[in-house]
Amino acid sequence: MCMRTNIVLDDALLAEAMKYCAARTKKAVVREALATYVTVKAEQQRIASYRERLAGVRRHVAEISLRKTGAELVREDRERRR
C-alpha cells in the first residue's frame, strides 16, 4: 500500500543524506531512508531478543549443579582412557 503525503524536509539534512546514498531524487532518498530505518530497527530487535534468550540460558545453566567436581571428572576421564 502506498500513501501520498506532503512533508517539509530539512534541505541541509536532505543534501547530506544524498551524499551517502545512490538515490538522486528526494522521493528515492526518503524511501531509502525508511528502508534503512526499518532494517536497523529490526536488527536491534533481533539482537535484544537474542540477549534475552541468552540471559535465560545463563540463568538455567547457573541453576544446574554438578554432582562431581571438575577435578573428579578429569580424573575419571583419564582413568577411562587407560
In the chain, where the domains are located:
11-81
The C-alpha cell that represents 36 in the structure block:
534503512
Banded model confidence at residue 8, pLDDT cuts 50, 70, 90: very high
Q: If you write DSSP's letter for every residue of 9-63 in order, what string do you get?
A: --HHHHHHHHHHSS--SHHHHHHHHHHHHHHHHHHHHHHHHHHHHHHHHHHHHHH
pLDDT of residue 62: 83
Q: What per-residue confidence (pLDDT) applies to 6?
A: 92
pLDDT(3) > 90: no
Question: pLDDT tens for residues 20-74?
Answer: 998 889 999 999 999 999 999 999 999 999 999 999 999 988 888 777 888 988 9
